[in-house]
Structure 1
Amino acid sequence: MSGGRALAEMLRINGAGPIFGMAGFQLLPYYEGVRRLGMEHHLVNDERVGAFAADAYARLTGRPGICDGTLGPGTTNLVTALVESLNAGVPVIALTGNTHRGHSWKNMTQEARQVEILRPAVKELIRVEAVERIPELVRRAFSVATSGRPGPVVLDIPEDVAHAEHTFAAGEFFADAATARVPARRPRPDASEVERAAALLARSRRPLILAGGGVHLSEAHDALLHLAEAAGIPVAHTLSGKGAIPCTHDLSAGLFGRYSRYANELIESSDCLLVVGCKLGEIATKRYTLPRPGTPLIHLDIVAEEIGRWAPTRVGLWGDARAGLSDLATALESATPTDDRSAYRDEVRERRSAWEAEARARYESDEVPINMGRLVGELNEAMPEDGILLADGGFASHWAGLLYDTKRAGRGFVADRGFASIGYGLPGALGTALAVRTDDGSAPPVVSITGDSGLNMTIGDLETARRAGTAFTLVVVNNAASGYIKALQHAVYGEGSYQSASLIETNYAELARNFGCHGHRVEHPDDLAPALKQAMATHDAPTVVDVVVTRDPGQMLPGVDNRTLQVRPGDRPV
C-alpha cells in the first residue's frame, strides 16, 4: 500500500474520530486512504479552524483530535492552534505534507522551513523519513500526545514517503490501547511527600484548593470532590479549571486571579494552598501578586518543572492529579486536624452570599444595549446540567469565567486559555458538537460565546459547520469593537483615546442566514431567553444569536483589568 494509505489505516486502528483539514498534492494518498476506509473527514476553509476543532474534540472526548495541512501555507496556518493545544495540554495529532526529498530546497512551490517553524509549537515533531516506519511512528505520535502532560504532535510526511508503495506485514498494524486517550499513564507522587502535604493541610485553619485545567485532563473530578468534602476545604478554579467541582457546590469559591468572586480574598488570608493541575500563570495569579509571599504552598502537577517555577513551594507532588488527590485523601484520613474549621466554612458561605447579592444587579440588568452580566445570567438559567458552554479568547472568556455556573463536575465549560487566541468560538463549537453527538438526538446542547472580532476571523467556516451537519448555538457578543483592546485603551489612556479598535456595525444573524444557518438578532434583554431557548431547540443547523451589547468601553470588562493598575495617567502601559 502507499504511505498515505498506511497513515489512514493506522489512524483508523487507533480509533480516530472526525478529521479536519484541507488537502494538497503531498497528502493525496492519505486522503484516498481515508476515502477508501470510509473514515470521517471534514474539509475546512482555514487550517487553523481544523486544528481548533480538533483541540475542542480532544477536550471533550479525551482522545487525540486529528487535523492535517498540506505543504507550506497549509502547514503554517496550523501554528496558532497548535500552540493553544501545547500550552493547554490537549492531545492533537497534526499530519503535514512536505516536499519531495529528491527536490527539496530547489524552490519547490510553497516550500518553507516548516519543520523549524512547527517544532517549538508542539510537544514533539516526528519526521517520517521511511515509508516502512509509518505504523511505528503513528503509535509514537499517540503515545507522546497522551502521556504525561498531553499535547500536540506533528507527523511531517514528505511527498515521496506519502506516495511510496511498500509491502507491510499485517502484524505491523496494531494500536497500543494504553495510549488511545488521556491520561495514558498515571504516575503517583512520592509517598513521603504526600504524608508531608497531608500533615501541612491538617495543621492549617484556612486551607484552600486552587484547581486548574489539569483536573479535567486527569479526570480527577471525583477525587477532588471527595477530598474537598472530607476535609471541608473550599475550591477555587482558573478559567481552564471551571467545572473541577460544580460551581453551585457549597465549597466552590469560584474564579480566582485577574477576575474573582471572592476567591482572591480567601487566597490572601489562607494559611495553606493546595494547587492542583495549575501552572500559576499571569491570569491566575493576577500578574504574580497572588499568593502572598510566605503562604505555604503544596503543588500537585504532572510536569515536575512547573512545581516551583516562580512561587516558592513547600511541598511538591509530582504526578497525576487523580492519583495524587486520592493518595492525599487517604493520608488525611489518619491526620489529626487542628480544629473543625467551622468558623472558616461559615465565613466562606457568608462571602458567597454577599457576592451573590452584589452580582444580582448584573444578572438581572435591564440595560439597553444589553449588559454582559444579563447575557450570562440568562445562560445560567437556560443551560441544562449537561450543557456545554465554550468561551472564545478575550473578554468573552472572562465574563463567562466569572459569572457562568457549571452545575456538575466535568467539562461543562471550555475556554481556549492555553494561548487565548480569539477565533476559537466557532471551530470550538464545531469540534464539541461532533464530540458529543448521539444517534438518537439526545446530545447535550452546545453553546459558544464569541466576540464579533473572533467571529470575523472564522466566519467562513459556518459553511463547514452546516456541511458537517452540526447544530450548536453561537452567541455573538456584538459591541462593534475589538472589545478587550478598546476597553484597555479606555482604562489606560482615557475616554476617546482609541486606535484600531472599532468595527463596523454588522448583523451577524443575517449573515448566518446567508450561510444557510439560523440567525436571531437580540437588542433587548427580555428577548434573550426566548432566543436562546429557540436556538438550543434547533437541531438541523447551527444558530447564531447576535446579541447587541454595550458600546461603552468603560463597561466592556467584568472589572478593572489588573494590568491597568500598573499605569498612571500619561504613562505607557507595562
Structure 2
Amino acid sequence: MTEGANVPAGRMNGGRAMAEMLRLAEVGPMFGMGGFQLLPFYDALHQLGLRHFLINDERNGAFAADAYARVTNRPGVCDGTLGPGATNLVTGLVESLNAGTPMVAIAGDSHRAHSWKNMTQECRQVDILRPAVKELIRVELTSRLPEMMRRAFAVATAGRPGPVLLDVPEDVCHGEHDFTAEDFYIPEETLTAPSRRTRPAQDAIARAVALLARAKRPLLLVGGGVHLSAGQAALQRLAESCGIPVAHTMSGKGSIACTHPLSVGLFGRYSRIANDLIAASDCLLVVGCKLGEIATRRYALMPAGVPMIHLDIVAEEIGRHQRTHVALWGDAAAGLDDLTAALADDAARLRRERQDYLAEIPVRMAKWREEASPRLQSTERPINMARLCQGLNNVMPAESIVVADGGFAAHWTGLIYDTKAAGRHYIADRGLASIGYGLPGGMGAALAAPGKPVVAVTGDGGFNMGLGELETARRCGANLTVVVVNNAASGYVKALQHAMYGRRYQSSDLVEMNYAAIAEQMGCRGIRVEDPAAVDGALAAGIAENDRPTVIDVVVTRDPGQMLPGVDNRAVEIKKGDRVA
C-alpha cells in the first residue's frame, strides 16, 4: 500500500486532505477551473507542488483527463466548481463512462447550512451528475475525505473502469479535522486499471475451446476492452499460436498492430476486408466489445447461426442483443491467456489447417489497397481525406499517438490509419462520440506520453468547440500537433444530408477560416496545407516542433458526396423506406 509518508498529521482542512491523497496516488496532471467551494483544495495543490492546469472549459478538462487515462491506464483527474462548473463536466464524464475510462472527478457543492436558499450557481447537480458516472460519492464529513478518495480510486479502476465523482460541499472542503498519519493510505493496486482481475469459469473456457478447435475460419472481433485490460500481448499470443485473424473496432484499434499480418482492420459501418471475413466465418470470438450500432452496421452484420463466443468484464453486455453460444465473463487479458493455454496442444495443428485461410488475408488486403489507391495517393485539390490519412501512415513513427475527434475524423482514420505497434497508439472518443474531443484529448495524451509524437485530428467544427484550449496547451507545455480537417462545414452532418436529401443543406455550413493564421496569433505554429504534395512535410514539421503546439490547417474536399469513407448504412435504410428507430 502507498502509505502516508510525509503526511503532516494534525489539523488540516478538507481541501488539503484531498490533495494529500492525490499526492499519495501519484496522479498525473489535473484539469479544472476553480471556485470558492474548492479554494482550499487549490491552495493545497499549490503548497504540495502538484500539477494542475486551469482549463478554459470544464468539458475539455474532462476530455483531457480521459485521454491521459487511456494512455496510462491510470485514473485521470479533473474538477469543476459549484453549478455550471459541475454541469459542464457531464459530456466528458459520460464519454468516460461509456468508454470504460478510469477517472476521478471532484465537484464543489454549496455550503450545507445554506443549501436550497437560492445560493449563487446552485442547482440539482448531484441528480444531474449521478447517471453520468460509475459512482457518485457525496462527502458529508471532512473527516471522511481520505476514505472517500480511496473508494473513488478503487471503484474507478475495478471491473470495467469508469469515472467516479466526489461531490464536496463547501463547508466540508473548508472545514477542518484532526487527521492522523494512518488516515492517509491508498492500496497501490487501485491506482492502475484493471486493479483486480477475474477469470472466466473453466467449464465455459472448455466449451469455447471446443468451438475454436474445430473452426476452419475463426475470427477475433476486438474492442476497447483489450486496451482497458492491457491485454494486447495476450491477444497476440492467442492469434499467433492458433492462427486466428483479428478485426477491430475504432476503440480496439491497436489491440494488435494494424501492420501485423493477422490484422484485417476495422469492421462494422466501414471496413476494408473484415466484414467479408465475418460473413464467411464459422466461429466468432468477441473480446472486450459491446457490439454496438457502428460495429454491427446497425445490428445487421453478424451472420445468423454462426457460433459466437463473447469475452467481457461486464456480464450484462454478453448476449445483450446478439445470441451468444459461450459466455466468458472475466478480464480480457486473463480470459485470452486461459484460451491460449487450453488450446496449446492443438495450436500447431490449427495453424497448419488454417494456412489456406490465413493466406487469403494478404491477397484480400492487397486488392483493397489497389482499389483504394486512387484516393490514398490522390493529387486532387481540395485534398482528399484518404490522402491526408495516408500522410499519417507515411509520417507517424511506431511509438506515436493519433487522437481522433468524433465524426468523420474518427471514421476516416479508423478505416485508413495503420498503427505500427500494439498499444494505445490510437484514441477515438467512441464512448459518446462527441465532437470537440480532438484538441483537449490530444493535450491529455501529450502530457501522458512526453517525448512521443501526438497528432490530434479534428474537424473545423470540433476545433471551434475547443479553440481556447490552444492557450491551455501552450501554458502546460503540451507540444502536440493538431490537424484541422477544414471543409468549411459540419462535415458529417452535411454528408448525411446530402445522402438523404440531395443538395438541400440546413445549418451545416461554416465560415471559411484560416486556422493556421489563428494559431499563429495565439502563439502557436500554424501551417496551412492546400496542396496534397505538402501533406507529409507539414506533418513531419509538426511532430518535429518542440517549443509550442502546431496547428496544420488542411483544406479538404468541399463535396458532401466525398466527405465520408463509404456509404452510411443509416441513410441507405431510410431511403429504402425501412423503419429505423
Which TM-score band (shorter chain)?
over 0.9
Partner secondary structure for residue 60 of structure 1:
helix
2:471 corresponds to which residue? 463
Gaps of 5+ in 1: 438-442
**Distance apart, 1:375 and its partner CA:** 0.4
Once the two structures are superposed, the pairs formed by residues 61-460 of structure 1 within 5 Å of their partners are 61-335=72-346, 340-437=353-450, 443-460=451-468
Is 1:540 the counterpart of 2:547? The answer is yes
**Distance apart, 1:348 and its partner CA:** 2.1
1:255–1:263 Cα contact (<8 Å) kept: yes
Is 1:516 the counterpart of 2:529? The answer is no
* Cα separation, 1, equivalents of 2:299 and 2:272: 18
**Distance apart, 1:573 and its partner CA:** 7.1
* Cα separation, 1, equivalents of 2:379 and 2:523: 32
* Cα separation, 1, equivalents of 2:344 and 2:544: 47
* Cα separation, 2, equivalents of 1:211 and 1:133: 41
2:4 corresponds to which residue? none
* Cα separation, 2, equivalents of 1:58 and 1:414: 11
Partner secondary structure for residue 474 of structure 1:
strand
Partner secondary structure for residue 126 of structure 1:
strand
**Distance apart, 1:503 and its partner CA:** 0.2
Amino acid at match of 2:364: R
* Cα separation, 2, equivalents of 1:572 and 1:566: 8
Q: Which deviates more from structure 2 when the two are superposed, residues 521-530 or residues 119-128?
A: 521-530
Partner secondary structure for residue 125 of structure 1:
strand
* Cα separation, 1, equivalents of 2:457 and 2:362: 30
Is 1:482 the counterpart of 2:495? The answer is no
* Cα separation, 2, equivalents of 1:525 and 1:167: 65
**Distance apart, 1:469 and its partner CA:** 1.3
Cα distance, 1:192–1:62 mapped onto 2, change above 3 Å: same
**Distance apart, 1:334 and its partner CA:** 2.8
* Cα separation, 2, equivalents of 1:52 and 1:346: 41
Partner secondary structure for residue 167 of structure 1:
strand
* Cα separation, 1, equivalents of 2:292 and 2:421: 26
Equivalent residue for 2:505, pick from 490, 498, 523: 498
* Cα separation, 2, equivalents of 1:359 and 1:351: 12
* Cα separation, 2, equivalents of 1:171 and 1:536: 46
* Cα separation, 1, equivalents of 2:444 and 2:362: 38
* Cα separation, 1, equivalents of 2:319 and 2:212: 18
Partner secondary structure for residue 59 of structure 2:
helix
* Cα separation, 1, equivalents of 2:64 and 2:137: 22
* Cα separation, 2, equivalents of 1:568 and 1:215: 36
Partner secondary structure for residue 540 of structure 1:
coil
Partner secondary structure for residue 379 of structure 1:
helix
* Cα separation, 1, equivalents of 2:548 and 2:337: 43
1:564–1:573 Cα contact (<8 Å) kept: no
* Cα separation, 1, equivalents of 2:106 and 2:574: 45
**Distance apart, 1:358 and its partner CA:** 1.2
* Cα separation, 1, equivalents of 2:102 and 2:369: 37
**Distance apart, 1:191 and its partner CA:** 0.8
**Distance apart, 1:335 and its partner CA:** 4.1
Partner secondary structure for residue 334 of structure 1:
helix
* Cα separation, 1, equivalents of 2:393 and 2:344: 36
**Distance apart, 1:531 and its partner CA:** 1.1
Equivalent residue for 1:526, pick from 529, 533, 542: 533
TM-score by length of 1: 0.98
Equivalent residue for 2:570, pick from 542, 563, 569: 563
Partner secondary structure for residue 269 of structure 2:
coil
Equivalent residue for 1:42, pick from 37, 49, 53: 53
Q: Deviations over 1:456-490 (max 9, x none)?
A: 00001110000111211100000000000000000
* Cα separation, 1, equivalents of 2:547 and 2:309: 49
Partner secondary structure for residue 228 of structure 1:
helix
**Distance apart, 1:353 and its partner CA:** 1.4
* Cα separation, 2, equivalents of 1:276 and 1:289: 19
Amino acid at match of 1:459: L
**Distance apart, 1:36 and its partner CA:** 0.6
**Distance apart, 1:342 and its partner CA:** 1.8
Question: Alignment RMSD, CA only?
Answer: 1.2
**Distance apart, 1:294 and its partner CA:** 1.2
Percent pairwise identity: 64
Partner secondary structure for residue 179 of structure 2:
coil
1:18 corresponds to which residue? 29
* Cα separation, 1, equivalents of 2:574 and 2:58: 39
Amino acid at match of 1:489: Q
Partner secondary structure for residue 68 of structure 1:
strand
Cα distance, 1:465–1:167 mapped onto 2, change above 3 Å: same
* Cα separation, 2, equivalents of 1:257 and 1:568: 20
Partner secondary structure for residue 309 of structure 1:
coil
* Cα separation, 2, equivalents of 1:509 and 1:570: 44
1:440 corresponds to which residue? none
**Distance apart, 1:32 and its partner CA:** 0.7
Amino acid at match of 1:450: T
**Distance apart, 1:349 and its partner CA:** 2.4
Amino acid at match of 2:162: G
Amino acid at match of 2:470: L
TM-score by length of 2: 0.96
Partner secondary structure for residue 547 of structure 1:
strand
Q: Deviations over 1:18-52 (max 9, x none)?
A: 01000000000100110110110000010001000
Q: Deviations over 1:174-225 (max 9, x none)?
A: 1110101111011010011111101100111110000100011111111110
1:199–1:332 Cα contact (<8 Å) kept: no
1:552 corresponds to which residue? 559
1:66–1:94 Cα contact (<8 Å) kept: yes
Q: Deviations over 1:467-516 (max 9, x none)?
A: 1112111000000000000000000111x210000000000001101110
Amino acid at match of 2:452: P
Partner secondary structure for residue 157 of structure 1:
strand
Amino acid at match of 2:125: Q
2:7 corresponds to which residue? none
Q: Which deviates more from structure 2 when the two are superposed, residues 339-348 or residues 45-54?
A: 339-348
**Distance apart, 1:568 and its partner CA:** 2.2
* Cα separation, 2, equivalents of 1:461 and 1:251: 39
**Distance apart, 1:570 and its partner CA:** 8.8
* Cα separation, 1, equivalents of 2:305 and 2:362: 26
* Cα separation, 1, equivalents of 2:32 and 2:102: 17
Aligned length: 568
Q: Deviations over 1:152-181 (max 9, x none)?
A: 000000000000011001111011101011
